[in-house]
Amino acid sequence: MNNSPMQKIARYGLGTFLVVAGIGHLTFARKEFQAQVPDWAPISKDNTVVYSGFVEIALGAALILAPAQQRAKVGKIAAAFFTAVFPGNIAQYKDRRDGFGLDTDGKRLARLFFQPVLVAWALKSTSKR
């Protein structure tokens, strides 16, 4: 199935990253994450950050705990989530909002190229080989 040692390490790493990021949404990095919420979001920036934090914790836990037959599905959901939040990264770049040390246009632009890496990471770490 999809449980090679490298896949397991990648899946656990991404899951842990998501859980920590989700906790950050709810606590220590809440203001930083608000910089990524586009002005056109239909709910308040704070609520967007809180709700996405809960989603990240759930996705991270699912990546770590999902049974083998469900991992590919969880990976696709995580990849879809990373795709869905990408407009926030674009808004942070376009609107020149500082957050997480992304305090120059160059840094914010470079951050945009990391999102496809997260999508690929979610899919590769959960795919059936």
Residue 80 pLDDT greater than 60, yes or no: yes
| DSSP string computed for 100-122 | TT--SHHHHHHHHTTHHHHHHHH
Which two tokens mark 84? 């869905």
State the Rg of the chain over Cα. Answer: 15
- What pTM was estimated for this model as a whole? 0.93
Cβ atoms of 108 and 57 within 8 Å: the answer is no
State how far the Cα of 25 lies from the Cα of 56, in Å rounded to an integer. 9
H/E element, 89: helix 86-94
**Residues 14-71: pLDDT tens digits?**
999 999 999 999 999 999 999 999 999 999 999 999 999 999 999 999 999 999 999 9
